[in-house]
Structure 1
Amino acid sequence: MINVTLKGGAVKEFEPGVSPADVAKSIGMGLYKSACAARVDGEAVDLRTPLEKDCELEILTFDSPEGKHAFWHTGAHIMAQAIQHLFPDAQFGIGPALDDGWYYDIGGTEPFTPDQFEAIEAEMKKIVKADLPVEKRFITVEEGREIFKGQTYKLELLEEYAEKGWQLSVYRQGDFTDLCAGPHLMSTGAVKAVKLLSTASAYWRGDAARDSLCRVYGTAYPKAAELEAYLNMLEEAKKRDHRKLGKELGLFALLEEGPGFPFFLPKGMLLKNTLIDYWREIHKRAGYQEISTPIILSRALWERSGHWDHYKDNMYTTLIDGEDFSIKPMNCPGGMLVYKTQPHSYRDLPLRMGELGLVHRHELSGALHGLMRVRCFTQDDAHIFMTPEQVKDEIKGVVKLIDEVYSLFGFEYHIELSTMPEDHIGELEDWETATDALREAIEELGRTYEINEGDGAFYGPKLDFHLVDAIGRTWQCGTIQLDMQMPERFELEYTGADGQKHRPVMIHRVVFGSIERFIGILIEHFAGAFPVWLAPVQAKVIPISEAHHAYAKQVERELRDAGLRVEGDYRAEKMGYKIREAQLEKIPYMLVVGAQEMENGTVSVRARKEEKGGTKTVEEFKAQVLAEVASRER
């Protein structure tokens, strides 16, 4: 018999060879029917996987990230099988699961049309209804060559995996077989509701010199109602698209002369600078000193930091006086040099240094997406240098700071602890110490977290903060990275209480992540209707006729002198038209002034929030809005 420890600590005995599916069935048919995959001793596996020794087992349903991954990966295979039925000449590339569905790269066909989408979906539904078993088996290279005869891309992958010494496996459902590591569902029947979403062009292996394939995106859910809710969210997301709203509201421009390099317009700069002012305020209060480091630094620096070996493909380089330099993709090496400009004592620590650094990273053109994925952005970086004894308190301080910021904007969030990746520097002992410090700090704060195995930075483990926006989408923004490697590489020192030289520990952290990306998220979160303190234009004065222009300008001037961002609309248009335009511009307050307002020294307030409207004196309105700005009310 073997002992299987279930989530929660319960231990059950089974015969060797029992599968996670059998275990789920022994617990209850409800769990068995909703199971998508399993986690055995921390590794996600198929439900058919035999258990041969004592282990820890967790049954994964669609509610878990790994369960969704198995579900959507099976959906990708169902879609590929349907395409194979309808388009026998199709060449199959890769088809991974994503955070909200999957894509599959297809060659040998023209881009698919909406009518063809309907035909593919209909064929997928037949495959689902057939409830085909999904079975995994391991193969040799020779078997793979036979299975994928005529499939150019699959054969290329097969040879590459074999050369790397990887164990080769395939998944088969009916007449479709794919080269895949899994895990997958037990059968196709669980994928009840399917939908193909869009297509795009994608180069094979991301190489512009190779074939252009048709990338087909799709998703699926266990219930039709869940799919409908997701599609409704997508429709709402289209309305909130920051690229569309950014253009309509005059915030930023994306121009072909600078792909991936956004242009901020005057109103966008007001928004950006307001965020930066807030950042400076809270960091000054938290004891940070602001620095600025050069945008271009020598190759020798990046070799020393490890970025040249681990990040070179994402860096822009240039030649200066015959020597290699790089435009910085990160601020941290410059922060090391600032620390080294003077000696430090333990009495100086912790030393918190913040930087709003402009960084450049090479992204493939196909990956660029508005402000969300760009090639240059302002990173709200900070580096904290401390003694080992100060680590946990500093981590807690950063967590509290991030919580304060996200709460201000109304974001909920969850935390992931990302551990040592395969491509890392430093000793295992240092990694374990750093990971334990992050874990203990977050647990002492009473926060829950998930483990994200192997996704740490190459120099240290990290806590990632994933915020949830107004329509339920998740964005990774804040991060806290604990680093014992760079202080060693840069030979950073401080003099301890014992008079000896010691190596400081270092935290890398961001709150917004990227100012540009955070603005994109805020645009979509608020659908362009920013809180008053953030709004580029807080009020618009609208005179009823030309006779009221002088009074309108007086109101505008008085509010502007008080520090509010105000515009006046003096065009020869009807008042109703001006009000509608101001509403489309998402302006929080419209101040209509006519003869009565001019006589009484008042303004007629039309507010986004109805309870804020009504007739007010200029002083009353000014006090109300200044209070909203000061409190940063949402």
Structure 2
Amino acid sequence: MQNLSKHHVKQDDHQRAEGGRTKAATSGQVDDSSGLNIGGDWKFSKNPQFLKDRLAVWDRLYEKQAAKYKEFPREKINVTLQDGAQRDGTSFETTPFDVAKQISKQFAEKIIVAKIKYTRRIGTLDEGLLNPEDDGKSTFENQWFFWDVNRPLEGDCILILYRFENAEGRETFWHSSAHVLGQTLETEFGVHLCHGPPTENGFFYDSYTGKDIFHDKDYPIIQKAAQKVVAEKQTFTRLILTKEEALELFGKNPFKVQLISSKIPDGGKVTAYRCGTLIDLCTGPHIPTTKMIKAFKVMKNSSAYWLGKAGNDSLQRVYGVTFPSKKELDEHIHLIEEAAKRDHRNIGQQQDLFHMHHLSPGCVFMYPKGNVVYQNLMDMIRREYRVRGYQ
């Protein structure tokens, strides 16, 4: 494994900010008193020490949470499915996956995520939860909750189950896949993770790498590491944290520290999820296990700004897409390739109508044949304007 600097160009030479989604999710009242650039010095490091330090804190806090859950009473609960069917269970033991297995084992193995509405909640640790990536808004006040398939139910509820074919299932699948990507970026390169959401066609993860950027030569490294994560059948576990605990857990990541410090008030609580060595601030929910990801592909990379603001630290954004089968990935790639063939930005250049150059983005240089087409289009528009009384 080579040092990043040996085959990466510097961000100063390759800056293309794509901060829209990051800004939408993490903009707001963030304290910038520490300066626009908080990342500091960064050096390539495979399996950095902060991973072990963070896991040690997680294990201690998770054991403490487990003891609290043991104190809740185990009572008989009633679960109502979407079709009105009733299933029995036990509070703080029965999971949505257990309920799905009562329908069919094959059906249960395809369930990505659940949505529930409690009619009687016996107990919870969720009161006061906030989302640091959404201006510290409460995550507890909604009547319906998206719920991890392997997370025990906390009372009588209405339960809806989603597969990958559902939009809710795909979003969760790609959100979990972003965590797999984040894990590979941390273990293989030692990045500071910033923000990793699902998108309409996959997911991305922003990370801080100092002045280095990712290159297409890194894609095989990332994909191989992701395949290892999938093969390990890692599960996703959830931990509720106080603000102070969150600051301790993410103390080595200046970007997470800024989010927590600025958006979570004293006394507030947040959630984090663990998947293998990855631990990240996240409201969830997630897929039961990484083994559900059968096909993983890095699509591209670009640059972004922290919080979507020019002048802040420059980040590296890696895009990916995953599917529950290789066949679905192949079909997805085929559609992308076919769309590219029909892209008039490419067709126009192939037909010698115009020329575009990366040194002048957004500018089109017309060739004679292209100018003929352009002039004919303008003449047609002028005629139509005259017919309709425009001057």
TM range (shorter): 0.5 to 0.7
Q: TM-score, normalised by structure 1?
A: 0.40
Check 1:106–1:11 CA distance in 2 against 1; reply closer, same or farther (3 A cut): same
- Tell which has more relative contact order, 1 or 2 (C-alpha 8 A, sep 6+): 2
2:192 aligned residue (78, 87, 91): 91
- 8 Å Cα contact 1:128/1:191 also seen in 2: yes
Superposed counterparts of 1:27-66, under 5 Å: 27-41=103-117, 42-66=144-168
In the alignment, which residue of structure 2 is the partner of 1:81?
183
Q: Does structure 1 residue 158 correspond to structure 2 residue 234?
A: no
TM-score, with length taken from structure 2: 0.63
Q: Is the 8 A contact 1:251 1:268 kept in 2?
A: no
Distance 1:43 1:244, change over 3 A: farther
Structure 1 residues 244 and 27, CA gap change in structure 2 (3 angstroms): same
C-alpha separation in 1, matches of 2:169 and 2:266: 28
| Cα deviation digits, residues 570-609 of structure 1 (max 9, x gap) | xxxxxxxxxxxxxxxxxxxxxxxxxxxxxxxxxxxxxxxx
The yes-or-no answer on 1:198 pairing with 2:300 is yes
What amino acid does structure 2 have at the position aligned with 1:140? Answer: T
- Where in structure 2 are the equivalents of 1:313-392 lying within 5 Å? none
Per the TM alignment, residue 2 of structure 1 is displaced from its structure 2 partner at its CA by 3.0
Instruction: Report what 1:213 is aligned to.
Output: 315
Within 5 Å, give how 1:364-443 maps onto structure 2.
Answer: none
Partners in 2 of 1:104 and 1:92 — Cα distance? 8
> Match of 2:246, as an amino acid?
G
Letter in 2 for 1:35: I
Answer whether contact 1:75 1:220 (CA < 8 A) is retained.
Answer: yes
Once the two structures are TM-superposed, the CA of residue 68 in structure 1 deviates from its matched residue by 0.9
Which residue pairs with 2:90 in the alignment?
Answer: 15
The 1:228–1:159 alpha-carbon spacing in structure 2 relative to 1, beyond 3 Å, is same
TM-align CA RMSD? 3.5
Match of 1:379 in 2: none
Secondary structure at the counterpart of residue 174 of structure 2: helix
Q: Does 1:71 align with 2:173?
A: yes
Which structure has the larger Rg over C-alpha atoms?
Answer: 1
Other-structure match for 1:506: none
Q: What displacement does 1:14 show?
A: 2.5
Render the CA deviation track for 1:512-561: whole Å, top value 9, x for unaligned. Answer: xxxxxxxxxxxxxxxxxxxxxxxxxxxxxxxxxxxxxxxxxxxxxxxxxx
How far the C-alpha of 1:274 sits from its partner, in A, is: 8.8
CA distance in 2: counterparts of 1:29 and 1:274, whole angstroms: 63
- The yes-or-no answer on 1:181 pairing with 2:256 is no
Letter of the aligned partner of 1:204 in structure 2?
Answer: W
Quote how far apart the aligned CAs of 1:269 are: 8.7
Give distance in 2, aligned partners of 1:129 and 1:272: 58
Distance 1:46 1:274 in 2: 58
Aligned to 1:359: none
Aligned-partner Cα distance in 2 for 1:258–1:117? 26
Asked if the contact 2:233–2:290 (Cα under 8 Å) also holds between the matched residues in 1, the reply is yes
Q: Residues 165 and 35 (structure 1 numbering): CA distance in 2 closer, same or farther, change over 3 Å?
A: farther
Q: Deviation string for 1:344-386 (max 9, x for gaps)?
A: xxxxxxxxxxxxxxxxxxxxxxxxxxxxxxxxxxxxxxxxxxx
Q: Choose from 221, 224, 241 the match for 1:139.
A: 241
Q: Aligned runs of 1:574-589 on 2, under 5 Å? A: none
Structure 1 match to 2:206: 105
1:27/1:265 Cα in 2 relative to 1: closer, same or farther (>3 Å)? Answer: farther
CA offsets per residue over residues 296-353 of structure 1, 9 Å max, x none? xxxxxxxxxxxxxxxxxxxxxxxxxxxxxxxxxxxxxxxxxxxxxxxxxxxxxxxxxx
In the other structure, the counterpart of 1:462 is none
Q: Which amino acid aligns with 1:154?
A: K
Q: Separation in 2 of the partners of 1:46 and 1:27?
A: 18
SS at match of 2:264: helix
Q: 1: CA distance between counterparts of 2:146 and 2:243?
A: 25
Equivalent residues of 1:2, 1:15 under 8 A apart: yes
Letter paired with 2:332: Y
CA 1:52–1:238 in structure 2 vs 1: closer, same or farther (change >3 Å)?
A: same
Q: Distance in 2 between matches of 1:95 and 1:272?
A: 45
- Equivalent of 1:25 in 101, 110, 127: 101
Q: Does the 8 Å CA contact 1:246/1:253 hold for their aligned counterparts? A: no
> Cα gap change, 1:29/1:259 in structure 2, threshold over 3 Å: closer, same or farther?
same
Measured at CA, do residues 165 and 193 of structure 1 come closer, stay the same or move farther in structure 2, by a change above 3 Å? farther
Alignment partner of 2:251: what SS?
coil
The answer (yes or no) to whether the contact 2:296–2:320 under 8 Å persists in 1 is: yes
Change (3 A) 1:166 1:101: farther
* Per-residue Cα deviation, 1:267-307 (whole angstroms, up to 9, x for no partner): 469779999x99xxxxxxxxxxx9x9xxxxxxxxxxxxxxx
Give me the whole-angstrom Cα distance separating, in 2, the residues matched to 1:202 and 1:260.
Answer: 23
Give the 4+ runs in structure 1 shifted more than 4 A.
246-261, 263-275
Deviations 1:87-114 (A, max 9, x none): 12x1111000111110001112522223
Inter-partner Cα distance in structure 2 for 1:232 and 1:7 = 36
Which residue number corresponds to residue 139 of structure 2?
none
Give percent identity, aligned residues only: 31
Which ranges of structure 1 fall in alignment gaps of 5 or more residues? 279-289, 293-634
> For the residues of structure 2 that align with 1:269 and 1:251, how far apart are their CA atoms?
13
- 1:35 match: secondary structure: coil
Q: CA deviation at 1:120?
A: 1.2
Amino acid at match of 2:116: V
Per-residue deviation at 1:133?
1.5
**Quick one: distance in 2 between partners of 1:273 and 1:21?**
64
The one of 239, 244, 250 aligned to 2:346: 244
In structure 2, the CA distance between the partners of 1:140 and 1:273, relative to structure 1 (3 Å rule), is: farther
**Do 1:161 and 1:168's aligned partners in 2 also have CA atoms closer than 8 Å?**
no
Q: Quote the Cα distance in structure 2 between the aligned partners of 1:15 and 1:273.
A: 74
The alpha carbon displacement at 1:230 in A equals 1.1
SS in 1 for 2:234: coil
Structure 2 vs 1, CA of residues 248 and 170 (structure 1 numbering), >3 Å: closer, same or farther? same
SS of 1:21's partner is helix
Preserved CA contact (<8 Å) 1:16 1:51: yes
